[in-house]
């Protein structure tokens, strides 16, 4: 069984599905509510596990009831959590998310991991990447990420946005899979780089080689976590011997499926 280690943030996601975006000072009744664990590394680990891999998430959660909820949700989906801050009693980051019913577009607000890690810079658990076939970092817990990229396994960067710690991580990254919001990905000195662009073709380059991967066309119902799904599927494909382009193709297929189904977890049943 392929083993993937995912290093980064775990949140509690509160998702409301709305008919339309809210106007200032407006109150509405949501069409639907979902609550689950979230975060780039956590969601990618869920997908890796669903595809048949052995997924471990290295993060900082603590023992607040909300943190326990997130850990239990991840465990239900086959993810082993290694908590670098098990004794912290403060709540973890909560992401507040609105998804618009007609378009599937989402708006997300979160405090992310910065303040939590600044107050509780726990030491990374020992041997966090032992036996890994692939390691993914999202950069949200810098000390954990710095420890993880020392792995002998291929290292994948979830480049959702620029973070200061990336200056330390990039020399050890083998694959950088970035969103279109990532600044100047062409300048990254990484062996293989890809940029996802929503429904538009994925751009990739590996040294002098360049190309594009087409994204399957679907009726978009919910874009929340689509990039995370892509990263989890990409990482899993690498562990099966897939080439860079083949892994990107797998990621695109899985992300498109995720966009076609309402809700943060329901789509997994079709994977």
Dihedral sign for Cα atoms in the order 224, 263, 231, 123: positive
Dihedral sign for Cα atoms in the order 77, 261, 34, 108: positive
Cβ atoms of 156 and 175 closer than 8 Å: yes
Dihedral sign for Cα atoms in the order 146, 147, 150, 156: negative
- pTM for the whole structure: 0.96
- At residue 237, the pLDDT reads 98
CATH for 3-126+133-270? 3.40.1190.20
Angle subtended at Cα 72 by Cα 80 and Cα 148, rounded to the nearest 5 degrees: 30
Average per-residue pLDDT for the chain: 95
141-189 pLDDT, tens digit each: 999 999 999 999 999 999 999 999 999 999 999 999 999 999 999 999 9
Check pLDDT > 70 for residue 117.
no
Place of tokens 């775990």: 10
- At residue 123, the pLDDT reads 73
Burial class (CB in 10 A: 0-12, 13-18, 19+), 209: exposed
Q: How far apart are CA 149 and CA 206, in angstroms?
A: 20
Dihedral sign for Cα atoms in the order 99, 100, 105, 107: negative
What mean pLDDT is predicted for residues 66-92? 95
Check pLDDT > 80 for residue 118.
no
- At residue 113, the pLDDT reads 79
Residue 20: pLDDT band with limits 50, 70, 90: very high
Place of tokens 């076939």: 133
Element (H, E) at 209: strand 209-213
Check pLDDT > 90 for residue 116.
no
What mean pLDDT is predicted for residues 125-151? 93
**Helix ranges, the chain (H):** 40-50, 65-76, 114-119, 142-148, 166-169, 226-239, 244-259
Residue 103 gets which letter from DSSP?
A: T
Task: Show me where the domains of the chain are located.
Answer: 3-126+133-270
Q: Which of helix, strand or coil describes residue 205? A: strand
φ, ψ for residue 144, nearest 5 deg = -65, -40
50-66 pLDDT, tens digit each: 999 999 999 999 999 99
Residue 126: pLDDT band with limits 50, 70, 90: confident
Q: How far apart are CA 224 and CA 108, in angstroms?
A: 9
- At residue 124, the pLDDT reads 82
223-242 pLDDT, tens digit each: 999 999 999 999 999 999 99
């Amino acid at each position: 069984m392929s083993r993937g280690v995912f290093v980064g943030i775990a949140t509690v996601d509160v998702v409301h599905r709305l008919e339309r975006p809210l106007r200032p000072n407006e109150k509405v009744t949501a069409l639907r509510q979902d609550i689950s664990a979230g975060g780039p590394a956590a969601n990618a680990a869920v997908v890796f596990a669903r595809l048949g891999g052995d997924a471990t998430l290295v993060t900082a959660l603590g023992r607040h009831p909300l943190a326990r909820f997130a850990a239990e949700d991840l465990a239900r989906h086959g993810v082993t959590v290694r908590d670098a801050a098990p004794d912290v009693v403060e709540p973890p980051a909560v992401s507040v998310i609105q998804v618009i019913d007609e378009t599937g577009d989402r708006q997300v607000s979160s405090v992310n991991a910065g303040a939590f890690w600044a107050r509780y810079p726990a030491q990374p658990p020992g041997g966090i990447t032992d036996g890994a076939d692939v390691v993914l970092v999202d950069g949200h817990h810098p000390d954990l990420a710095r420890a993880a990229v020392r792995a002998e396994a291929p290292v994948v960067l979830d480049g959702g946005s620029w973070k200061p710690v990336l200056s330390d991580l990039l020399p050890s990254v083998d694959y950088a899979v970035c969103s279109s919001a990532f600044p100047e990905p062409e300048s990254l000195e990484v062996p293989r780089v890809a940029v996802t662009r929503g429904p538009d073709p994925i751009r990739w380059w590996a040294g002098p080689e360049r190309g594009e991967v087409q994204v399957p066309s679907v009726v978009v119902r919910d874009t929340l976590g689509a990039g995370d799904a892509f990263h989890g599927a990409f990482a899993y494909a690498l562990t099966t011997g897939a080439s860079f382009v083949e892994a990107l193709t797998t990621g695109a297929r899985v992300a498109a499926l995720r966009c076609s189904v309402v809700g943060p977890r329901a789509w997994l049943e079709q994977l």
